[in-house]
Amino acid sequence: MEIPAPAVLFPERMWSGKQLFSMLLINEVNIYRGGKSGPSSPDDTRVVIRQGHVHQGVMSKAMLGSKAGGLVHVLYNKGLSKMDEGRKQCRRFLNGCQRLVNAWLMMRGFSIGIQDTLATRTINDRIIEVIDDAKTAADAIIDTARQGSITLSPGETMQDAFESSINQRLNKAIDECGTMVMSSIRRDNAIYTMIEAGSKGSKLNMSQIVTCVGQQNVNGKRIPDRFWSGRTLPHFAAFDYGPLSRGFVANGYLKGLSPAEFFFHAMGGREGLVDTAVKTAQTGYIYRRLVKALEDLCVRYDGTVRNAQGHLVSGLYGEDGLNAQRMESQRFISLKASNQQFRSMFLHSEGQQSTLPLSPQ
């Protein structure tokens, strides 16, 4: 493996991250597509790889993950013409990525501190206002429902319309708080970096840490009143339909939950654990039945799909006969280009080298 010329010569020899990453690729790789920008280069929003050299872009989860058309998929397809070469290329690339990232982390490090979860005083004040406004709006919806003047959709009961209206208003407040937090934090925030890279976390997780956890649901609805007295917990008045008594957690993980909020949060968390266990068994059984039903189907040399008895199942595999393993998205600049753009890109005099731009001008 040849070491490329350094990108910076003075005051000391330094190589860019794109140069180091390009050393892991083979020359046949060419990719041009949209991508995510990094905190150090917010305008670097496209991934451009030419002849195995990374010219532009950030290697996020969308490029390095198991997604169709990703870098691993492209590398595998490039080696399919040779026996087992695609697997070897992918193995070398993944091993090289791991060694490169480990060496970088040994020098730089990456961790999350309490500072990454703190918002400014102005943002905290605005968050409190948004949550208070949501509580006031929920109380107004309760008064409207008690007066019987709430608007009903076709086939909707009064109870359904009431619960739907309150849920929408509270969820809107959570979205507003999350938007404020994500727009105010620094680009080099560790949690923000993980979210943008796609390695872990989401904007909802960030919002729940800093602002409020939000509405807790059981069976897709707000916390029901299980007590005979019409209470969700003994801490609230009977027949209280307000947000706090029905599972709305106004505090975030950073500030800490109250005892009632903690109990409601445990109710929603338990449902998630049970669903995980039940759905795993259900989907596994369905998958097994599908595999057993389709295991004798194969694509014959004439392109038809037949079973073990030779009975025709499909005249052409997938209705198009294309191998999904080899399919990749391609750019056709000439398809959308105007006549003037087409001439500027492809018309050249004899002896003049044709240089295609990265994108139509």
Question: How many CA within 13 A on the CB side of residue 325?
Answer: 6
* Shared domain check, 134 and 57: no
Cα–Cα distance measured from residue 130 to residue 124, given in angstroms and rounded to the nearest whole number: 10
63 assigned to some structural domain = yes
The CATH number given to whatever domain includes residue 97 is: 1.10.274.100
pLDDT band with cut points at 50, 70 and 90 for residue 208:
very high
Average pLDDT estimate for 178-197: 87
Q: Is the pLDDT of residue 82 over 80?
A: no
The whole-model pTM stands at 0.73
Q: Is the pLDDT of residue 25 over 60?
A: yes
pLDDT band with cut points at 50, 70 and 90 for residue 227:
confident
**Tens of pLDDT, residues 135-185:** 999 999 998 888 888 888 888 888 888 888 898 899 898 899 988 998 888
2 assigned to some structural domain = no
Q: Is the pLDDT of residue 34 over 70?
A: yes
Average pLDDT estimate for 308-312: 93
Tokens in use for 100? 């490169």
Average pLDDT estimate for 231-236: 89
The CATH number given to whatever domain includes residue 241 is: 1.10.132.30
* Shared domain check, 267 and 355: no
Residue 352's pLDDT is what?
A: 57
Q: Is the pLDDT of residue 203 over 60?
A: yes
Q: Is the pLDDT of residue 258 over 90?
A: yes
Residue 358's pLDDT is what?
A: 46
Cα–Cα distance measured from residue 104 to residue 96, given in angstroms and rounded to the nearest whole number: 12
Terminal-residue alpha carbon distance, the chain: 36
- Which three-class secondary structure string do you get for 173-225? HHHHHHHHHHHHCCCCCHHHHHHHHCCCCCHHHHHHHHCCCEECEECCEECCC
The distance of Cα 316 from the centroid of its chain, to the nearest Å, equals 34
Q: Is the pLDDT of residue 111 over 60?
A: yes
Domain that holds residue 265: 114-272
* Shared domain check, 75 and 122: no
Question: What are the C-alpha distances in Å from 315 to residues 295, 300, 307?
Answer: 18, 10, 12
**Tens of pLDDT, residues 339-361:** 888 888 787 766 555 454 544 44
The distance of Cα 20 from the centroid of its chain, to the nearest Å, equals 26
Whether the upstream peptide bond of residue 11 has omega within 30° of 0, thus cis, is yes
Residues paired with 34 in a beta bridge: 46
Average pLDDT estimate for 52-75: 85
pLDDT cut 90: percent of the chain above it: 30
349 assigned to some structural domain = yes
125 assigned to some structural domain = yes
* Shared domain check, 89 and 61: yes
| Top-confidence residue, 197 or 359 | 197
* Shared domain check, 128 and 251: yes
Cα–Cα distance measured from residue 262 to residue 249, given in angstroms and rounded to the nearest whole number: 8
- Tell me the average pLDDT of the chain: 86
Residue with tokens 């305008």: 43
| Top-confidence residue, 350 or 271 | 271
Q: Which of 272, 304, 339 is the last residue of a domain?
A: 272
Residue 51's pLDDT is what?
A: 87
pLDDT band with cut points at 50, 70 and 90 for residue 89:
confident
Contact between 71 and 64 under an 8 Å Cβ cutoff? The reply is yes
Cα–Cα distance measured from residue 191 to residue 208, given in angstroms and rounded to the nearest whole number: 13
The total of structural domains in the chain comes to 3
DSSP 19-83: HHHHTTS-TT--EEEE-PPBTTBTT--EEEEETTEEEE----HHHHSS-TTSHHHHHHHHTTTST
294 assigned to some structural domain = no
* Shared domain check, 78 and 158: no
Cα–Cα distance measured from residue 36 to residue 59, given in angstroms and rounded to the nearest whole number: 8
Residue 252's pLDDT is what?
A: 92
pLDDT band with cut points at 50, 70 and 90 for residue 308:
very high
Contact between 226 and 267 under an 8 Å Cβ cutoff? The reply is no
* Shared domain check, 76 and 129: no
* Shared domain check, 126 and 83: no
304 assigned to some structural domain = no
Q: Which of 81, 108, 135 is the last residue of a domain?
A: 108
DSSP label at residue 312: E
Average pLDDT estimate for 227-243: 87
DSSP 226-266: -STTS-SSTTS-TT--STGGGTEE-S-TTT---HHHHHHHH
* Shared domain check, 164 and 74: no
354 assigned to some structural domain = yes
pLDDT band with cut points at 50, 70 and 90 for residue 228:
confident
Where does residue 334 rank: exposed (0-12), middle (13-18), buried (19+ CB within 10 A)?
exposed
Q: Is the pLDDT of residue 45 over 90?
A: no
Determine the longest span between alpha carbons in the chain, in angstroms. Answer: 91
Cα–Cα distance measured from residue 18 to residue 212, given in angstroms and rounded to the nearest whole number: 39
